Amino acid sequence: MTTANKTKTYMSWLTICFMMVAAVASIRSLPSMAVYGLGSVFLYVIPALLFFIPVSLVASELGTGWNGGIYGWVRQAYGDRPGFFIMWFMWVQVVVWYPIVLGFGASTMAYLINPELAKSGVFTAAVIIVLYWLSTFVALNGLTTLSKLTSWFMLLGTALPAALLVLLGVAWLVLGHKSATPLTWSALIPTIFDTHSTVRTGSHNLHPDLWREFTGAITGLVLIVSNFLAFAGIEMNAIHARELRNPQKEMPRAILLAFFMILLVFIPPTVAISLVVPADSTSLTAGVIQAYAAFFAGFNMPWATPIMAILLIIGALGGVLAWTAGPSTGLLFVGKAGMLPPVMQEVNSKGVQKNILYLQAVIVTLLSTIYIFLDNVSDAFWMISAMAALMYLIIYVFMFMAAMKLRKTQPNVKRGYVLKGLHGWCYLGLMSTCVALIFGFIPPNNFSSMPFFEYAGILLLGLVVAGTPPFIFYALRKPSWQMVPKAESDQYSAALQDLQDADTKAASTSPSLVTAPPAAPSVS
């Protein structure tokens, strides 16, 4: 039997829905919204409507038309240099993300030793560095067994703790305990719109310069930017729309259900945290374990707090192990196409891109020192989170622009899913993304000490430093850097119909061969 005669196996739309939820849902970012209590509902719904849905729909069309994820789409639309920039920026964004998730793990670990250590930047940085280098050595050894354990890590450290938070919150109210946040209809309107006073959280005022007039609405709205990052990554599973039997009908159904499921993962646990942790004492890094400690103390079960701390640390490690080698593999593919010097293309005896992994470990180490230099651990956590969010938002700007250009320049490429009103969805996504980009440079009103121009300047400098290397590499590239044939590297971003035609042609011309030419790997 040839490849052409094999029966195609389709995915269920429910499977894709659950994959979307798994890719996006995380309890790591909940404390930053918990300070608003019931108002967090609004702060989650707005990014979901204006960002999550447009990204999901647009990525579904692109993912059923071209290979390679965002890198492939941008390369098809704008060429090699912008494509390389996007691949590099996606890799750097994930590298910046590591100190965020491990900062969460470090503050949680402090509750196993001494809760006061959660406020120590030195402790936080040390734990991040040790855990990340440990995960790097695991990735260098290519231990497939641990990669299989990643899903269990995420189940035990994310899904179970999130569900337990909700159950504890319900039990807290049913048993008559007092709530630390107002539970009224008026509380559904977040205090970011209270322009006559600072947020009712005990937060600090802005630095006393010209930006003080924005205390309230504008400086509170920047909190929504962190939620854009919370919804990021959905495009990686939207590309699986090509595996549906009827993408045109089933993909919108999967996105709609995922929309409500993700909000259920985010909102109830966030409100549960606000029930027991006063807003003015909520830590952005340790807020989740603070909530567990308060719940278990109220229920006379203090012995359960260390158990939950261990589970949360397992979840953080699972996330890091899942991502340590993945994005760098995509960068290696692009590097072998002639974009990176040979030293960055080197692999070890197990085929792992060792020098790229070492480089990202060094970057994570340097980024972790921000926790030491800033007086407040939450401030450091927020600044790194803002940097990661800005990077991802820039990537999505390119994605929306590429979608509109490809609809115009390559209208004949067959899409498994054709989005009606694509330009309108792209403009909606671009508008919300650009507004979030602007807000991302404004320090929130709970950012304790840094003036606006210093805060924005550091973020802007970070973006420039992070985005410059691909342009330097591109300008210095040499023919000797290309380690794979151009035809093979072109497959990374080829139209899927061309890849399928090539497979069909190979099968028909070589009936004795049962293996089709290798498909280009996805570098999303």
What is the predicted pLDDT for the residue at 440? 84
C-beta atoms surrounding 66 within 10 Å: 27
| Residue 224: C-alpha distances to residues 33, 271, 411, 435 (Å) | 9, 16, 36, 11
- Total Cβ atoms within 10 A of residue 141: 12
Residues 10-36 have pLDDT tens digits of 778 888 787 777 667 677 778 878 878
Contact 274, 181 (CB under 8 A): yes
Q: Which of 296, 364, 280 is nearest to 103 (CA)?
A: 364
| Sign of the CA dihedral with 32 first, then 37, 43, and 45 last | positive
**Mean pLDDT within 90-102:** 89
So what's the pLDDT on residue 251?
84
Contact 319, 94 (CB under 8 A): no
Residue whose tokens read 């067959």: 414
Average pLDDT for 245-257: 85
pLDDT at 447: 58
Q: What is the DSSP string of 48-82?
A: IIIIIHHHHHHHHHHHTTBSSHHHHHHHHHH-HHH
What pLDDT shows up at residue 230? 75
Check whether 99 has a pLDDT greater than 60: yes
pLDDT of residue 501: 66
Q: Could you tell me how many residues make up the chain?
A: 524
CA dihedral for 469, 470, 471, 474, sign (positive or negative): positive
Give dist(CA 34, CA 277) in Å, integer.
9
Handedness of CA 382, 388, 394, 400 (dihedral sign): negative
Q: What does the pLDDT read at residue 471? A: 95
CATH number for the region 9-506 comes to: 1.20.1740.10
The b-or-e profile of 256-267 (16+ CB within 10 A means b, else e) is ebbbebbbebbb
Distance, CA of 187 to CA of 36 (rounded, Å):
8
Q: What share of the chain is helix, strand, coil (3-state, %, to 5)?
A: 75, 0, 25
Average pLDDT rounded to a whole number, residues 60-78: 90
Q: 441-487 pLDDT, tens per residue? A: 887 665 556 777 888 899 999 999 999 999 999 999 999 999 988 88
* DSSP conformational letter for 495: B
Is pLDDT of 5 > 50?
no
Is 0.85 surpassed by the pTM of this model? no
d(CA 45, CA 188): 12
Instruction: Of 104-108, 230-234, 338-342, 363-367, give the lowest mean pLDDT range.
Output: 230-234
Please answer whether residues 13 and 253 qualify as being in contact, where contact means their C-beta atoms are separated by less than 8 angstroms: yes
Closest by CA to 179, choosing from 189, 192, 168, 190, is 168
Residue ranges of the domains in the chain? 9-506
- To the nearest whole number, what is the mean pLDDT of the chain? 80
